[in-house]
């Protein structure tokens, strides 16, 4: 038996034979200039629309994060600039398939150069390019394997179109050679409850049908394990999962110190399931779903109705609404985002209000109107806050419009470093560890070879969490975490030990986190936090805490 290692991004243990995702159709040789460039360009537009329509259809069958990701992805092939780029390549003498490949390549290079959120979307362009070329050639995309029995899915990387359609009864676990802890594979696998490991480069050596044991919590893949040991590992995991599922009630440490356990909510499609989960409310209500795929901004009435549905479902519970986080990888058709040399560090989130102040004012008014009609405990926060002045300005505006609790996301290192001053001007903070990690470590969230830097166990990131939480404790203001880090049951006690007062996560992760906190005293949490901070890197921090 040999052991391969990667980054575990979705907990669980599974054993089974490997089945590899087939490669897409190959790009044919370039046959040169098209005899009718206009007709070729028209064919390209039709193929791009067919790909977008297929993604729309997949999104209609999906729900939750999967539907959101697919809808966002369907916007890419519909970008007029992409079709224009194909036309330029055809006019330059390229054959149609090569013109499409070249056009996607131009966009991919631009996104990679931009870094951050935009670079995260670059990998998706490879899949969209392959689908468009397959459409032009009349060839099917290979899709997921179907060996006729449950299997462990192995892939170089997984596109949202494939991940969103996984059947957990057939796909026992996912192992990818590339990707990072905040990739679409990680997010969707967690939402589906499938054990997953990314950035496992050595997985390329695994052959089809070989038996493996995957531990999504430890980030390990055992090649040809002892059958008896594999069976025992799976049974232990099943027993652990049953015990965790039986846990209920508010989040607390073993000493009874309360730690609010909340859910992240990204679309109305997730509402029915999320509201039934044993949680204390919503720690992150993303509002982008109301704005994307539209040609005009939603009216105050439309927004109020949508927010009201969430507030009604979580009556009597806390709901933290994040105002629009658009720009960068989430451009709006009805907003002139202008030309930016580095959009990931440009006008996005709260900064968009500099250009479109009325849009933020309308959103806050809609939230306030919906709040007045329901008895949910409504809080509101702004994304991409960098300075104390920005935090105070947002809080003043929200208070003036009838929203009594207004806070800030802490995603920018500057906001964490100056947390005491930032929190002095608002009511609470919520740490977005995904963005805070990538900005702190200067690492693209989709760069597989940098996945170790994006690990939420990085001591530098944890130090900023402690700085922010300590400021909140001194000022008597709550500080939560709503990034992917909150869903890690091993890391949760560490975050509490650092001073965090609430954790918001995917609904499926909540039972494990609740059980993990209940097993640790306050002193345990503080000690584990010190252990993690004393480590030299993320791997050492994780291993040291796991050994305690």
By annotation, the residues acting in catalysis are 184, 482
Stretch (H or E) spanning 414: helix 413-417
DSSP state of 540: H
Residue 196, C-beta contacts closer than 8 angstroms, at least 6 positions apart: 8, 9, 10, 12, 173, 174, 175, 176, 185, 186, 189, 190, 216
Contact 284, 504 (CB under 8 A): yes
Stretch (H or E) spanning 15: strand 13-20
β-bridge partners, 3: 222
Rounded CA-CA distance 123/102 in Å is 15
β-bridge partners, 281: 318
Q: Among 494, 522, 513, which residue's Cα sits nearest to residue 248?
A: 513
Q: Is 518 exposed, middle or buried (0-12, 13-18, 19+ CB in 10 A)?
A: middle
Kindly report the number of other CB atoms within 10 A of residue 442's CB atom. Answer: 10
Contact 7, 219 (CB under 8 A): yes
3-class DSSP state of 534: helix
109-113 contacts, C-beta under 8 A, 24 or more apart:
112/444
Q: Quote the distance between the C-alpha of residue 8 and its chain's center.
A: 15
Rounded CA-CA distance 540/531 in Å is 10
3-class DSSP state of 220: strand
Report the b/e string of 413-431 with b at 16+ CB within 10 A.
Answer: bebbebbeebbebbbbbbb
CA dihedral 411, 413, 417, 421 (to 10 degrees): -50
Rounded CA-CA distance 409/324 in Å is 12
Rounded CA-CA distance 386/322 in Å is 16
Q: Tell me how far apart the terminal alpha carbons of the chain are, to the nearest angstrom.
A: 27
């Amino acid at each position: 038996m040999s052991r391969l290692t990667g980054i575990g991004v979705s907990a669980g243990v599974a054993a089974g034979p490997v089945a590899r995702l087939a490669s897409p159709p190959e790009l044919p040789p370039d046959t040169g200039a098209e005899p009718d460039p206009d007709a070729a360009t028209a064919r390209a537009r039709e193929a791009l629309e067919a790909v977008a329509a297929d993604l729309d259809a997949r999104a209609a069958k999906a729900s939750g994060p999967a539907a959101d990701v697919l809808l966002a992805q369907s916007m890419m092939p519909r970008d007029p600039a992409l079709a224009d780029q194909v036309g330029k390549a055809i006019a330059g003498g390229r054959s149609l398939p090569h013109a499409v490949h070249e056009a996607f390549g131009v966009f991919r290079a631009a996104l990679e150069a931009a870094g951050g959120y935009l670079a995260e979307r670059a990998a998706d362009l490879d899949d969209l390019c392959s689908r468009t070329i397959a459409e032009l050639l009349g060839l099917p995309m290979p899709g997921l394997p179907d060996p006729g029995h449950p299997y462990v899915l192995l892939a170089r990387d997984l596109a949202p179109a494939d991940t969103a359609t996984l059947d957990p009864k057939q796909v026992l676990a996912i192992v990818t050679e590339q990707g990072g802890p905040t990739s679409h594979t990680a997010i969707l696998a967690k939402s589906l409850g499938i054990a997953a490991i990314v950035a496992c480069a050595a997985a390329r050596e695994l052959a089809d049908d070989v038996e493996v044991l995957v531990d999504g919590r430890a980030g390990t893949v055992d090649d040809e394990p002892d059958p008896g040991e594999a069976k025992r590992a799976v049974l232990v995991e099943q027993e652990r999962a049953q015990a965790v599922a039986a846990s209920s009630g508010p989040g607390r440490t073993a000493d009874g110190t309360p730690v609010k356990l909340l859910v992240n909510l990204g679309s109305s499609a997730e509402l029915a399931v999320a509201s039934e989960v044993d949680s204390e409310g919503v720690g992150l209500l993303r509002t982008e779903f109301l704005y994307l795929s539209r040609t005009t901004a939603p009216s105050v009435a439309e927004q109020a109705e949508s927010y009201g549905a969430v507030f009604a479902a979580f009556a009597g519970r806390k709901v933290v609404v994040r105002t629009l986080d658009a720009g960068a990888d989430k451009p709006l058709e009805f907003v002139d985002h202008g030309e930016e040399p580095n959009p990931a560090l440009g006008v996005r989130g709260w900064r968009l209000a500099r250009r479109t102040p009325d849009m933020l004012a309308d959103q806050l008014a809609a939230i306030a109107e919906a709040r007045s009609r329901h008895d949910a405990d409504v809080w509101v926060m702004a994304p991409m806050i960098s300075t104390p002045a920005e935090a105070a300005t947002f809080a003043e505006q929200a208070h003036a419009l009838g929203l009594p609790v207004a806070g800030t996301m802490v995603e920018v290192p500057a906001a964490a470093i100056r947390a005491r001053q930032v929190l002095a001007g608002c009511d609470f903070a919520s740490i977005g560890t995904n963005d805070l990690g990538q900005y702190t470590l200067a690492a693209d969230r989709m760069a597989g070879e940098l996945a170790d830097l994006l690990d939420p166990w990085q001591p530098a990131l944890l130090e900023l969490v402690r700085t922010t939480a300590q400021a909140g404790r001194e000022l008597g203001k709550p500080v939560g975490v709503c990034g992917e880090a909150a869903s890690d049951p091993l890391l949760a006690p560490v975050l509490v030990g650092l001073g965090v007062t609430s954790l918001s996560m995917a609904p499926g992760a909540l039972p494990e986190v609740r059980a993990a906190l209940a097993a640790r005293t306050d002193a345990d949490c503080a000690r584990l936090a010190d252990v993690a901070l004393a480590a030299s890197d993320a791997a050492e921090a994780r291993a040291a805490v796991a050994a305690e």
